[in-house]
Structure 1
Amino acid sequence: MFTRTESFREYVSSYRAVTGLMFMMMIAFVINLFPLFPGNVLFYYGTGVNLYIAEGQWWRLITPIFLHGTFTHLLFNGFSLAIFGPALEKYLGSLKFSLFFLTTGILANIATYLLLPLTYTHVGASGAIFGILGFYLYLVLFHGSNFSTNERNTVYTLTGIAVIMTFIQPQINIVGHLAGLAAGFLTAPLYWRKKW
């Protein structure tokens, strides 16, 4: 399910949504690394700042999904999307996958806004990526007959490791991760169809 055997060209043409999302994250990082606009404008206006959201800057519930503070942060989230995203995009189709990804990311950011202090700031696509894991968790728990024992165990293991790492690693938006996982799990039935 998560093994990729396509060439780069096949991957790009087969998984347009995953590729597009990764490209947007990389472009945003490069623009921040080599500012094309003064004052790191993407981070200035795009970082999730709870205080500014409270003042009406609602777009900050969306823009943090595409911003990453370090190359390691971008690499980890990009790699996770590249591995976990294709099977779900193939199942949902590019448009629905994009909608699901953005919805779970936004819901994770809303939870961050509601549950963390106004001084809290955050960036990253982790909430949306945890949403993907939540979708897989829903599938193997409620429609497990569509998957092999190995596939089910892989989903359980990856989800467990991701949750454990959330509490171990420093400077992690725990609320965003867990809310993204819950959002993916709870909204998955809206996208479910019998054929996997």
Structure 2
Amino acid sequence: MDQVPGSPQEPKDARGGDGLPACYRHPDRTTGIHCTRCEKPICPDCMVSASVGFHCPDCVRSGGGTGRSATATQPRTLAGSAIAANPRLITLILMGLNVAVFIAVRAEGARLLSELGMLGRTPPGYLPQGVAEGEWYRLVTAMFLHQEIPHIAFNMLSLWWLGPPLEAALGRLRFTALYMLSGLGGSALTYLVADPAGFSLGASGAIFGLLGATAVLMRRLRYDMKPVLILLGLNLVFTFTWPNISWQAHIGGLVVGAAVAYGMVHAPRGRRNLVQAATCAVALLAIVAVVWVRTLQLVG
């Protein structure tokens, strides 16, 4: 049906004097909030709280499935995933894996640390070990490895705080991809620029990736950016001033996490799955390329 000028649907793309769009139901009110399902601009009187962001009255009414197919009316996250009953499941699984490995390390001691930690290559004269020697699994296992209680406590508290909102916004599969790629990005940058004989471990790279993704998500939803920017700034200061911290893992995770999250939440609706898959594939290929180039430098 063609829209009639002046009808209630027309103001969807209207702009006010401040450059913000007008609420699709109240043309005289500009707003920076959009429905997380259909992306129509909505004012405070029209916002209906959802698990992530807000929905417009039309999407809330259509949730029952009348007049549309079940696929069209199924609630979706901002990134296009089905809304899960438990938006903390993957976060809890990741925390469980980290705690389980920590308990194993406390039981086994230095042997497990030396076998699973992030190590590029040992100096000449030592038993060959490290990623350069073909032990690529260290890029992954180091992400779940902690030695001290304060280390794992801080990382797990950060994961519990950052994980559930991102898992709810992205969906389980996309959140898992974000976490793993962020951690791999931190391991890859560490491998590239740090001392290859240096030893590193911890989930900090993945956590910084979640922090970068949180900033991207908040900007996408037009929320106040000050809290997350202040938190990010404090963590970066801590990264570069506190001793024995692998800044490479933090920066690598932050960059990859922000980039992957941007591709996920800004993917056009008509090609959402394709763009999101391509974003993850490009990030993974970049990580593999970094590791491959560094390996050639160390063994060539």
TM-score normalized by the length of structure 1: 0.83
Aligned partner of 2:181 in structure 1 is: 103
* Structure 1: distance between partners of 2:170 and 2:257: 13
User: Structure 1 residue 184 and structure 2 residue 262: aligned?
Assistant: no
User: Structure 1 residue 123 and structure 2 residue 201: aligned?
Assistant: yes
Q: 1:135 aligns with which of 200, 210, 213?
A: 213
The answer for unaligned runs of 5 or more in structure 1 is 1-11
Q: Which residue identity lines up with residue 139 of structure 2 in the other structure? A: L
Q: Which residue identity lines up with residue 74 of structure 1 in the other structure? A: I
Aligned partner of 1:28 in structure 2 is: 101
Aligned partner of 1:7 in structure 2 is: none
Which structure's residues are more often helix, by fraction?
Answer: 1
User: Structure 1 residue 86 and structure 2 residue 164: aligned?
Assistant: yes
Q: How many residues align?
A: 176
**Contact 1:15–1:86 at 8 Å: present in 2 too?**
yes
User: Structure 1 residue 48 and structure 2 residue 118: aligned?
Assistant: yes
Aligned partner of 1:4 in structure 2 is: none
**Contact 1:28–1:42 at 8 Å: present in 2 too?**
no
TM-score normalized by the length of structure 2: 0.56
For residue 77 of structure 1, report the CA deviation from its aligned partner. 0.3
Q: Which residue identity lines up with residue 179 of structure 1 in the other structure? A: G
**Contact 2:87–2:167 at 8 Å: present in 1 too?**
no
Cα distance per residue 1:43-69 (max 9 Å; x no partner): 232101111101110000000010012
Larger Rg belongs to: 2
Q: CA RMSD in A?
A: 1.9
Q: Which residue identity lines up with residue 137 of structure 1 in the other structure? A: A
Aligned partner of 1:148 in structure 2 is: 223
**Contact 2:162–2:214 at 8 Å: present in 1 too?**
no
**Contact 1:67–1:123 at 8 Å: present in 2 too?**
yes
* Structure 2: distance between partners of 1:127 and 1:47: 14
Matched ranges for 1:153-164 at <5 A: 153-164=226-237
| Structure with greater contact order relative to length (CA < 8 Å, sep ≥ 6) | 1
For residue 190 of structure 1, report the CA deviation from its aligned partner. 2.3
Q: Which residue identity lines up with residue 244 of structure 2 in the other structure? A: Q
Secondary structure, counterpart of 2:245 in structure 1: coil
* Structure 2: distance between partners of 1:94 and 1:19: 12
* Structure 2: distance between partners of 1:153 and 1:131: 18
Cα distance per residue 1:5-56 (max 9 Å; x no partner): xxxxxxx943111000000100111111123xxx654323210111110111
Distance 1:119 1:40, change over 3 A: closer
Aligned partner of 2:142 in structure 1 is: 64
The answer for unaligned runs of 5 or more in structure 2 is 1-84, 122-129, 270-300
Secondary structure, counterpart of 2:261 in structure 1: helix
